[in-house]
C-alpha cells in the first residue's frame, strides 16, 4: 500500500522526495451501538484496514488532494485561506475539517500540503472510513507541523470537525477506536468521561467476520441526526424526574421506573435502546473477561434485536444477513454494526464454521434480496502511525 500511494504521488507531482506515508485504521464495534452520544459504553476495535496517505509540505498556501478511490475527481484543490465546507470539495471536506479544527485550537499550518490517499475500507460500509480519514489527517498534521496533541486529542478533534464542519452529529467512538487502537485488543470506553481500558480479545477457536451488505448509507442524510435529537429530548424529559447527565447513567430498573416522564412512545423506545444497550455492553465485556463467549454472543444477538425494533436503524438487507447468520451452526453471535441503514454485520464465528458461514449466508442473501455480500475475516490492529 505504501509503495502504491508513493508511486501515485510521484506520477502526479513529478517526484516523491521528502514524502511521508501515514496510516490510520477503520474500526468495527462489537457491541454498544448508538450509546456513544448517550453517555454510555462502547466496545470497538481497530482493524488492519484503513486509510493510507502520502503527504508533503508545499512552499505556498495551496492544498491539493487526490484519492485513488475517486480517481474520476482528479486533483481537488483548496487553500489554507478558505477552510470552509462545500459540495464541490466532496470527500476533501473531511481532511479540510480537521485542518479547520486544528486552526481553531490555535494550531495553524504555515504552508500548504499535497496529499495522495488510498483507503481499503469499503466505502459506505459502516467501518468508519470517515473517522479513519480524520485521524490520519490529524496524525500527519501533528507529525509534519510539530503540533502538540495526544491521540485522544486527535479523536476529539476528528469528532469536533465531523460535527461542526461536516454537519454529522456523530459520537466519539469511531475516532477514538481509530486513534487509540491496539493490536489484538478491543477498547472498553466509557463515553461519558472517556475513561477506557483495553480488553484482550481472546476468541478461543473463533474469528470476527464482517459481512458487507453492499447497501451504501450516507449517515449525514440519514435518520442518524434525528435519532440523536430524539434521545436528547427523552433525556430532557427524564431529567425532570431523575438526576442524570446522560441516558447511560440509568440501569434498566431505573429506566422502567421513570420512563413515564417521556411524552412520546417513539422516544421511549429510543431511550430504552440506549439504556439497555449500555448495560448489555458492560455485561458483554465482563463475559469476555470470564471467557464466556456464549453469553457474549447472546448479548450481541439481543443488541441487534434492539437496534432493529426499538432504535429502528436496521434495514431489510441487514436483517436478512443477521437472520441467516443465526441459523448457521458455529455462529456465536451476529448483529448490525455501525450507524445503520445498511453497511455491515459483525459476527463471531467458530474457525471450523467460517467456510460454511460464508457459503450459506452468501447464498441465502443473494436468493432473498438479489445482492451479493462480501465477507472479511478481520484482524485487530494498532492505531495511527507513520509508515
Pairwise CA distance, residues 10 & 157, whole Å: 30
Residue 84 backbone class (left: φ over 0; alpha: ψ -120 to 50; beta: rest):
beta
CA distance readout (Å), 141 to 89, 96, 111, 154, 160:
20, 11, 11, 10, 16
The pLDDT of residue 149: 97
CA end-to-end span of the chain: 10
The pLDDT of residue 339: 82
Residues in the chain where the model's pLDDT stays below 70: 124, 217-222
pTM over 0.85: yes
The pLDDT of residue 223: 81
The pLDDT of residue 126: 75
Phi, psi (deg, nearest 5) at residue 299: -70, -35
87 grid coordinates: 459540495
Tell me the domains of the chain and their CATH numbers: 2-30+42-200 (3.30.230.10)
The pLDDT of residue 85: 94
Q: Are strands 20-29 and 44-57 parallel, antiparallel or unpaired?
A: antiparallel
Residue 204: how many other CB atoms lie within 10 Å: 8
The pLDDT of residue 220: 43
CB 296 within 8 A of CB 347: no
Residue 333: beta bridge partners? 348
Pairwise CA distance, residues 102 & 341, whole Å: 31
The pLDDT of residue 346: 96
CB 44 within 8 A of CB 173: yes
The pLDDT of residue 57: 98
The pLDDT of residue 218: 59
155 grid coordinates: 479523536
The pLDDT of residue 168: 84
The pLDDT of residue 341: 86
Catalytic residues: 174
Amino acid at each position: 500500500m505504501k509503495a502504491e500511494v508513493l508511486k501515485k504521488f510521484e506520477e502526479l507531482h513529478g517526484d516523491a522526495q521528502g514524502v511521508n506515508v501515514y496510516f490510520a485504521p477503520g474500526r468495527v464495534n462489537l457491541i454498544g451501538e448508538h450509546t456513544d452520544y448517550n453517555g454510555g459504553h462502547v466496545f470497538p476495535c481497530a482493524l488492519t484496514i484503513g486509510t493510507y496517505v502520502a503527504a508533503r509540505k508545499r512552499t505556498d498556501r495551496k492544498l491539493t488532494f487526490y484519492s485513488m478511490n475517486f480517481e474520476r475527481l482528479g486533483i481537488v484543490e483548496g487553500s489554507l485561506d478558505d477552510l470552509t465546507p462545500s459540495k464541490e470539495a466532496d470527500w476533501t471536506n473531511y481532511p479540510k475539517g480537521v485542518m479547520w479544527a486544528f486552526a481553531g485550537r490555535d494550531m495553524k499550518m504555515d504552508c500548504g500540503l499535497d496529499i495522495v490517499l488510498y483507503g481499503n475500507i469499503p466505502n459506505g460500509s459502516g467501518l468508519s472510513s470517515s473517522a479513519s480519514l480524520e485521524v490520519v489527517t490529524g496524525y500527519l498534521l501533528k507529525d509534519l507541523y510539530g503540533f502538540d496533541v495526544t491521540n485522544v486529542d486527535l479523536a476529539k478533534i476528528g469528532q469536533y470537525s465531523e460535527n461542526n464542519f461536516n454537519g454529522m452529529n456523530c459520537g466519539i467512538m469511531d475516532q477514538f477506536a481509530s486513534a487509540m487502537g491496539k493490536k489484538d485488543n478491543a477498547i472498553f470506553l466509557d463515553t461519558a468521561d472517556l475513561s477506557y481500558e483495553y480488553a484482550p480479545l481472546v476468541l478461543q477457536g473463533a474469528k470476527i467476520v464482517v459481512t458487507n451488505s453492499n447497501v451504501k448509507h450516507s449517515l449525514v442524510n440519514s435518520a442518524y441526526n434525528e435519532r440523536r435529537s430524539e434521545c436528547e429530548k427523552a433525556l430532557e424529559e427524564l431529567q425532570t424526574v431523575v438526576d442524570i447527565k446522560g441516558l447511560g447513567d440509568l440501569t434498566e430498573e431505573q429506566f422502567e421506573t421513570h420512563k413515564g416522564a417521556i411524552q412520546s412512545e417513539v422516544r421511549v423506545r429510543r431511550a430504552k435502546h440506549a439504556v439497555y444497550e449500555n448495560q448489555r455492553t458492560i455485561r458483554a465485556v465482563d463475559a469476555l473477561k470470564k471467557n464466556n463467549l456464549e453469553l457474549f454472543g447472546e448479548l450481541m444477538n439481543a443488541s441487534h434485536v434492539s437496534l432493529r425494533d426499538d432504535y429502528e436503524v436496521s434495514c431489510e438487507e441487514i436483517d436478512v444477513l443477521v437472520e441467516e447468520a443465526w441459523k448457521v451452526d458455529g455462529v456465536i453471535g451476529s448483529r448490525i454494526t455501525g450507524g445503520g441503514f445498511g453497511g455491515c454485520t459483525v459476527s463471531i464465528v467458530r474457525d471450523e464454521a467460517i467456510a460454511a458461514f460464508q457459503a450459506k449466508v452468501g447464498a441465502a442473501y443473494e436468493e432473498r434480496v438479489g445482492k451479493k455480500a462480501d465477507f472479511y475475516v478481520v484482524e485487530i490492529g494498532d492505531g495511527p502511525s507513520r509508515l
